[in-house]
Amino acid sequence: MLYEEHAIAAARGMVRRFMPVAWRFVSIYEAVFRKPPASLRPKRLWYEKPIYYMGSHVNFFADGDTIPWPSYTRALDYELELGAVVCRPLHDATPEEALQAVGGFVVVNDVSARDVQYPEMTSGFGPVKSKNFANAMSAEVVTVDEILPRITELDAEVLATGTIPGCSGMETGQWLSPGDEIELEIEDIGTLRNVIGTPAEP
């Protein structure tokens, strides 16, 4: 969750879809004051420390694969992210050392079960079942020397930026449905295409 703009827009989308009564008040507040209410902004900790979660490496899907729809969700969402492939061990690295450890970049789809995510995150333990069932990654890795000038063997870790602002269904209102074909693209990096599966039996 790297971008404040995404955090606020995602909170707005969560309220709009799952809290219709509260959404009336939020929409009136924003119309009058021309800014989001404090309840939609990240908590103070977000500004002080990086917020992230650990995904499962066994749940990555490739370009062209069908993304499974877990039985426990009715609100599946996509999240377009830029992934960095880290090819060297790092510990307390400087920005320069971290950059030297990046071997390339990929397109990542951090698939999320939104109706499960909210109660998990408000529990104080963070996202688990809402996040770790599926992620997708593009087939091509674009090397650092090809990309860095434009933007100022894969035994490695993949770190993703968090959702790029405006690049999730919760923000745009374009929620996923079974059978959808989804294509995510980042200029100069690549394209990631997947099909959304049908909900599994509980």
Residue 86's closest CA among 145, 154, 137, 152? 154
Mean pLDDT of 172-181: 96
Give the integer Cα–Cα distance in Å for 98 and 88. Answer: 9
Mean pLDDT of 61-79: 95
Residue 132 pLDDT = 87
Token pair in block for residue 28: 């009136």
- Measured in degrees and rounded to the nearest 5, phi and psi for residue 171 equal -80, -35
Domains in the chain (CATH in brackets) are 52-199 (3.90.850.10)
> Residue 122: is its pLDDT beyond 90?
no
Mean pLDDT of the chain: 90
Q: How confident is the model at residue 201 (pLDDT cuts 50, 70, 90)?
A: confident
pLDDT digits 0-9 by tens, 134-172:
999 998 888 877 766 655 447 568 889 999 999 999 999
Residue 51 pLDDT = 79
pLDDT digits 0-9 by tens, 26-69:
999 999 999 999 999 999 988 998 778 888 888 899 999 999 99
Residue 147 pLDDT = 67
Mean pLDDT of 116-133: 85
Residue 1 pLDDT = 77
The DSSP code for 123 is T
Contact 113, 129 (CB under 8 A): yes
Mean pLDDT of 107-115: 95
